[in-house]
């Protein structure tokens, strides 16, 4: 039969193996920060790509205008 020390050892082992609510909340907060950083990075890249594509469209129009002049 289990005595008090055995039960205490099992409880301590369970704390080491299984995550607690505090561990989960800390993990959740870290994931939220990482996701926010990733969204900011993707947004910055999309902005730069949009600017690049607009510049290429203007450049294409400018080249076609120059060809008409020649």
| pLDDT, one tens digit for every residue, the chain (70 residues) | 778 898 888 888 887 777 778 888 999 999 999 999 999 999 999 999 999 999 999 999 999 998 888 7
How is the chain split into domains, by residue range? 20-69
> What does pTM read for this prediction?
0.57
Q: How far apart, in whole angstroms, are the C-alpha atoms of residue 14 and residue 10?
A: 6
Integer Cα distance of 33 and 41 in angstroms = 12
């Amino acid at each position: 039969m289990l005595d008090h020390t055995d039960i205490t050892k099992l409880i301590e082992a369970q704390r080491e193996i299984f995550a607690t609510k505090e561990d989960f909340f800390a993990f959740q907060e870290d994931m939220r920060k990482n996701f926010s950083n990733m969204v900011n990075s993707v947004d910055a890249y999309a902005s730069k790509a949009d600017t690049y594509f607009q510049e290429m469209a203007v450049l294409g129009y400018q080249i076609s205008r120059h060809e008409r002049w020649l």
